[in-house]
Structure 1
Amino acid sequence: MKKKFIIPVALSSALLVGSIPMNSVFAKLDDSKVVSSVQASKKWNEKASVPVFVKERFAEKFSSGTPSNAVNYLKKNEGKTGIKNPEKNLKVKDIQKDELGMTHVRFNQSINGVSVEGAEIIVHFNKNNEVESVNGRINQMIAEDGVDTTATLSSDTALKTALSSVKAPEELTYEPTTELVVYPFEEENHTAYKVNVNFMGDEPGNWFVFVDANTGNVIDKYNGLMHADEMKTQKGVGKGVHGDHRELHISHVKEPKSGTKFALADYAHENLEGILTYDAKNDTDTRNDTLYVGDSAAFLSDYDRAAVDAHYNSEKVYDYFLNEHGRNSLDGKGMAIKSYVHYGSDYNNAFWNGAWMTYGDGDGKFFISLSAGLDVAAHEMTHGVISHTANLVYRDQPGALNESFADVFGALVDDKDWEIGEDIMAPAAKADGVTRLRSMSDPNSVIVSNAQRAAYGSGVYPAHMDEFYYMPRNVDNGGVHVNSSITNHAAYLIGQEIGRQKLGQIYYRALTVYLTPNSDFSDARKAIVQSAIDIYGEGSAEEVAVHSGFDAVGIY
């Protein structure tokens, strides 16, 4: 009997399946399968994160699409939206104008000026300054119960507690952030510090820790890891992991003792800080990492191959978002795109850590170098786009949407098929029939390889809500990788009807304009339908295709 391969390492928000810790269109779920902890919090969760979706049939016209006019609309329409005292309980987070002439005013729900975690409302004005729709999620418990937002604990103390709770090393990737929020969790609205701690090492983390602002207790935490001299850019060449010839943008660097070298540093793109590739040198200590440098403009050695593909693929993904969606880098503002290759020893994963992409070399049995996959690079970089737009919480259905959108754009950039990870499988895994990580066209054809996850479902990736995996949060963050294949399949079916280019336009708009941190599958359907209407018109073939795709996977 041939050996069955199991993915040996899996990280939250990494590409791989992880084991670390209008009318209502809700997906129909079988509540009898939900684990007891989910059942206990179901009523609470519904009241703490209530979906809002209002589509105006007769739009109300204003002089301009400003926050104050958005609030005026909400005040007049409390009965439609369920949002009470909007002038008091909402604060402006962002104002976005798009290529269709629409203005989108995004608010955070707040109490006493303190943001309610995950509660956002967006008011959408058309080009005539008429309110066309409102969507998002609101916490109704705030209005009913009220919350004391007084904090007796200092933010410094909360930070120390957070660092200790995740066993953070002394060296952090970037300065931790601390924000006072109202955090709904386990039947109570807590006033808490939300602390973001990011580090590399043997067990990299992009932790979000919620520390009670009065008791100092850790309420909740989750790992959101989404598994010199002036340089002159010139052309270089390299050989990729599979032997492909790559044309690269590289730069001269001058080193004191060894003279001129050539770095995988691309400064050829206007208003972009650069595309930079680093060498992690087969360890997990970031103090050893350096910009990837060679003696010539040709990167042809076996050790170079992972870096060549990471550098080349990063530029491909950057070009896609710029050319298709007018987005300048992951944050839309030209942030540097950084990749680290040769991470760890036989490291079977790739991840977005909140600041850059990291690629392991694989163990040669299950994976080869993970930077070989263009869809892998696009997946990880899309996590960066998501974190700067909808910022979908990396848990449960919002987390599954996070993974799904990363897969969708992975398949749109690497457009030769609808499979994910087919270019990073090792020969031995392929010989055993493991030829890709996930299939958007036929999810059931791929086995869920981790026994802990497989115990919660059929053992294969689901293609319909009837096959949904009801997982506790300590398994794959509530099924973020496994359940993502349901919405992946919907995207595939839509793409088959309207083509990849239109699919990308609709999904990008939904991600950047309509979705909010706690959006679930039914919210995603609404957002994607509305995006199709915005771009192609009500009753269009594109809108019909979206409805059909979601109907087919049981998200009604």
Structure 2
Amino acid sequence: MKHRDIQVKSKKILATILLTTTFFTVGFSTMTASADINPDTVKAEELEKKLPQLMGGEIDSKILEQYNVIGKVSDDNGFTHYVMQQMVNAIPAENGELHVHVNKDNIITSVTGDVNEKEIHLNGKITVDETKAQDIAKAAFGAEDGFVYQIKQYATTDGIAYWQVSVGSKEGSETATVYKVDAMNGTIIETYKANHDVANISGKASTGIGKTTAGKDVTFPTLVDQQGTHYMQDSPADDAKNTVLDILSVKKDARNNKLYSVGIINSINGQFTDRGAVDAYINGRAVYNYYKNNFNFRGVDGKKQQIVSMVNDSSSPSNAFWDPSSQTMKYGARNGLSLAAAMDIVGHETTHGVINNSSNLDYKGQSGALNESLADTFGHFMDNKDWTMGEDIGWILRDFEHPTNHNQPDHMNNFQNLPETNDQGGVHINSGIMNKAAYNVINAIGQEKAQQIFFTVMRHYLNHASDFNQMKEAMVQASHDLYPNEPQVAVEVNNAYANVGLGEIINNIKQSNILPEQQIEVTQTDNVTSIEFSEESGTLPTIYGQKEEKNKKTVSLKIKKNSKNQVQYLIC
């Protein structure tokens, strides 16, 4: 494999890159991006006259006019992450989501995500509204208790608008399904599975006892009602609830969809004999504490959403999965042992919930395999005594060190390009490549740094359609952002992915401080945010270019919300 030195452009990128250019660096390769400009308020001539040339050509400024900031979030590392989306007649374009990362010094460090290198226009009239799209999807789903738990609208690069409708069962059916409904003619253009509020008990805090599958005696918090019945649900003062449900029965509707009848696991005297339920309860809290203690992230949504596990799923033997429609983990059993007894499996399923509430990676193809691998990786972080998944129940599902031992590829040369009818495009197969890369990363830089980088990428650097290469680029970029004074961390991460066929091995990084630092001062009022900064025009340096003389001017940027509560930027 070829070795080379790479010079990274200064990460102190001009603030105007966010607003008016098409330049950014992801990891160690230049890629095109877009900017946050509202076409209704900013004219093309207000953009910078000379856009940085990337990938051999300039990006049409009209593309930039389609990008808007749609949200932001701050993390505990002092970064603010802005989400920008290409919009087509107020409809988000698929594969057009960018993430702009600003550090604690208000310096834009990087941009990650997708850009469509073409201006998009709708190719027809929208005739199917949101209500009709939901009706079409529910009819296709067929379950008697089917309901829409999420609906989004997108436009393809060819200008076809569609509704992405996620349908599940109120009883927690494992058949939660995503339907793409053409907004112009109502046909279903794609279907794929989505799988990967519970009643609360009023009572006093108490303590239950039980045994785990491994035979360990444990105590745990319960709630006890006025009749003295203990329920496997806690009620912490400042944390998420932890609840375990028993799947009492499973029946099928007319279309063979599963309908669950459930109840909270309980005991008359506080002694719990269902070892699988005890495992789910103990391990569920351990997963919660892992995310809380390492990332100050509470619950699958970061907002103290309760951890809900469902056990004794006889309809799904040898299986465990996250159900996004009910926001629950479901655990079956294998050879009489609940899958909830394996800490790494519980960590895996809960992480699917974290992904579902953040990057929301599509569960198909490369993004689905990446979804699976991230869940595996965090399962390993929580149970790091070995490199396998599921060994605690005597059933090794996957092996990070040797994926090929379990019929998974470990290099892009062996990537299996499968149809979505086969394991959603091989999500449990090709994840072996990403698992091997994770193994390489953890061995190279250690778990502490690795888990911080993986979590930051999972939460803030990916979007729903991210693929393997974008994961690699995001990991390298986040390594640099989180550990700017330790450049070898980014080198090791880069090489960890290069060793599975993603990119080239590098020897070192040559830092460049050519670009001036831009301080962006933000002050907020109730309705208007003003940002003032200096803009310096001119070609930015690259490994193949030279810097040019820059012209400085002061720009005032105002952010306001229109009548539809949409963010708009005004350049003054």
Q: TM-score, with normalisation over the residues of structure 2?
A: 0.75
CA shift at 1:463, angstroms?
1.2
- The residue aligned with 1:385 is 354
- On the 8 A contact 1:61/1:128 being kept in 2, the answer is no
Match of 2:163 in 1: 193
- Counterpart Cα distance in 2 of 1:78 and 1:291: 60
Distance, in Å, in 2 between the alignment partners of 1:235 and 1:70 is 55
1:112 and 2:89 matched: yes
CA distance in 2, matches of 1:527, 1:150: 37
CA apart distance, 1:437? 0.5
Displacement of 1:246: 2.4
Which amino acid counterpart does residue 530 of structure 1 have in structure 2? Answer: Q
Look up the SS of the partner of 2:163 in the other structure.
strand
Give the distance between the partners of 1:160 and 1:58, measured in 2 at CA.
Answer: 49
In structure 2, do the counterparts of structure 1 residues 122 and 230 end up closer, same or farther at CA, with 3 Å as the change threshold?
same
1:247 and 2:219 aligned: yes
Task: State the one-letter code of the partner of 1:107.
Answer: M
Matched, 1:396 2:369: no
The whole-number CA distance in structure 2 between the counterparts of 1:106 and 1:396 is: 23
3-state secondary structure, aligned to 1:157: helix
- The Cα shift of 1:267 comes to 1.4
Aligned residues with identical type, % of pairs: 29
**Gap change, CA 1:345 and 1:201, over 3 Å in 2:** same
What residue in structure 1 maps to residue 496 of structure 2? 549
Match of residue 403, structure 2, among 429, 437, 443: 443
CA spacing shift, 1:523–1:538, aligned 2, 3 Å: farther
**Pairing 1:270–2:250 present:** no
Instruction: Decide which of 296, 299, 305 is 2:275's aligned counterpart.
Output: 305
SS at match of 1:380: helix
Instruction: State the aligned residue count.
Output: 462
d(CA) in 1 for partners of 2:191, 2:70: 24
* Secondary structure, aligned partner of 1:288: strand
Alignment CA distance shift 1:133-1:271 (3 Å): same
In our comparison, the structure showing a higher alpha carbon Rg is 2
- Most deviating of 508-517 and 118-127: 118-127
Which of 93, 98, 123 matches 2:70? 93
Corresponding letter in the other structure for 2:94: E
Residue-by-residue CA offset, 1:448-474 (whole Å, 9 max, x unaligned): xxxxxxxxxxxx211111221121111
Q: Tell me the residue number matched to 1:452.
A: none
Q: How much does 1:99 deviate?
A: 2.7
Cα 1:123–1:166 shift into 2, 3 Å: same
Check 1:229–1:445 CA distance in 2 against 1; reply closer, same or farther (3 A cut): closer
Of 500-509 and 74-83, deviating more is 74-83
Question: Unaligned regions of 5+ residues in structure 2, if any?
Answer: 20-33, 39-45, 252-257, 504-572
User: Counterparts of 1:551 and 1:287 in 2: how far apart (Å)?
Assistant: 45
> Which residue of structure 2 lines up, in the alignment, with residue 40 of structure 1?
none
Task: Tell me the equivalent position of 1:156.
Answer: 131
Equivalent position SS for 1:135 = strand
**Structure 1 residue 238 and structure 2 residue 210: aligned?**
yes
Partner deviation per Cα, 1:475-518 (whole Å, 9 max, x = no partner): 11111111111111111122112221221111001111211111
Displacement of 1:266: 1.5
112-121 vs 377-386, which deviates more? 112-121
Distance 1:359 1:242 in 2: 20
Alignment match, 1:210:
180
For 2:86 and 2:468, the matched residues in 1 are separated by 22
Where 2:391 maps in the other structure, the secondary structure is coil
Matched, 1:492 2:451: no
Q: Does 1:295 align with 2:242?
A: no
Partner of 1:170: 144
For 1:108 and 1:72, the matched residues in 2 are separated by 10
Higher helix proportion: 1
Amino acid at match of 2:408: Y
- Indicate the residue corresponding to 2:333 in structure 1: 362
- Sort the Cα spacing of 1:253 and 1:90 in 2 relative to 1 into closer, same or farther, 3 A: farther
| Cα deviation code 1:285-312 (max 9, x no counterpart) | 656211111112221x2xx111111111
1:176–1:263 distance in 2 versus 1, CA, 3 Å? same
- Could you list the per-position Cα deviations for residues 140-168 of structure 1 after superposition, in whole angstroms to 9, with x for gaps in the alignment? 34x1x52147421232222221122233x
AA in 2 matched with 1:208: V
Matching residue within 393, 415, 421 for 1:424: 393
Residue 478 (structure 1) aligns with: 425
Between 101-110 and 80-89, report the one with greater CA deviation: 80-89
| TM-score, normalisation: structure 1 | 0.77
- Out of 36, 39, 42, which is 1:71 matched to? 36
Question: 2:558 maps to what in 1?
Answer: none
2:474 aligned with 1:527? yes
Local SS of the residue matching 1:423: helix
C-alpha separation between the residues in 1 aligned to 2:289 and 2:181? 40
Q: Secondary structure at the match of 1:463?
A: coil
Structure 2 residue 113 is matched with structure 1 residue 136: yes
The DSSP-based 3-state class of the residue aligned with 1:502 is: helix
- Give the whole-Å Cα distance in 2 for the aligned partners of 1:344 and 1:201: 15
Q: Does the Cα contact within 8 Å between 1:506 and 1:532 map onto a contact in 2?
A: yes
Letter in 2 for 1:329: G
> In 2, Cα distance between the equivalents of 1:360 and 1:386?
19
Aligned counterpart, 2:299: 329
In structure 2, relative to structure 1, the CA distance for the partners of 1:183 and 1:262 (3 Å cut) is farther
Shift of 1:183: 3.9
Does the 8 A contact of 1:280 with 1:286 survive in 2? no
Q: Does residue 1:414 correspond to 2:374, yes or no?
A: no
CA distance in 1, matches of 2:416, 2:426: 7
Aligned mate of 1:515, from 462, 487, 512: 462
Matched to 2:373, the amino acid is S
Aligned counterparts of 1:117 and 1:288: Cα–Cα separation in 2? 37
Partner Cα separation in structure 1 for residue 213 and residue 249 of structure 2: 16
- What's the offset of the Cα at 1:424? 2.8
Name whichever of 314-323 and 113-122 sits farther off: 113-122
- Provide the residue aligned with 2:250 in structure 1: 283
Give yes or no for contact 1:306–1:361 (8 Å, CA) kept in 2. Answer: no
**C-alpha contact 2:249 2:261 (8 A) present in aligned 1:** no
- Name the structure 1 match of 2:13: 59
- Computed over aligned residues only, the root mean square deviation of the Cα atoms, in angstroms, reads 2.9
Cα distance in 2, alignment partners of residues 504 and 249 from structure 1: 29
Contact persistence 1:282–1:345 (CA under 8 A): no
Partner residue of 2:255?
none
Q: Deviations over 1:192-212 (max 9, x none)?
A: 122110127796222111111
Return closer, same or farther for 1:72/1:283 CA change in 2, 3 Å cut-off: closer
Return the alpha-carbon distance in structure 1 between the equivalents of residues 205 and 77 of structure 2.
36
CA contact (8 A) 2:370 2:427 kept: yes
**1:374/1:78 Cα in 2 relative to 1: closer, same or farther (>3 Å)?**
farther
2:228 alignment partner, SS class? strand
**What SS does the aligned partner of 1:132 have?**
strand
Checking the alignment, whether the CA contact within 8 Å between 2:37 and 2:67 is kept in structure 1 is no
1:373 paired with 2:342, answer: yes
SS of 1:268's equivalent in the other structure is: coil
**Contact kept in structure 1, 2:410 and 2:432, CA below 8 Å:** yes
Q: What secondary structure, in the 3-state scheme, does the structure 2 residue paired with 1:352 have?
A: strand
CA distance in 1, matches of 2:201, 2:328: 25
In 1, are the aligned partners of 2:348 and 2:379 still within 8 Å (CA)? yes
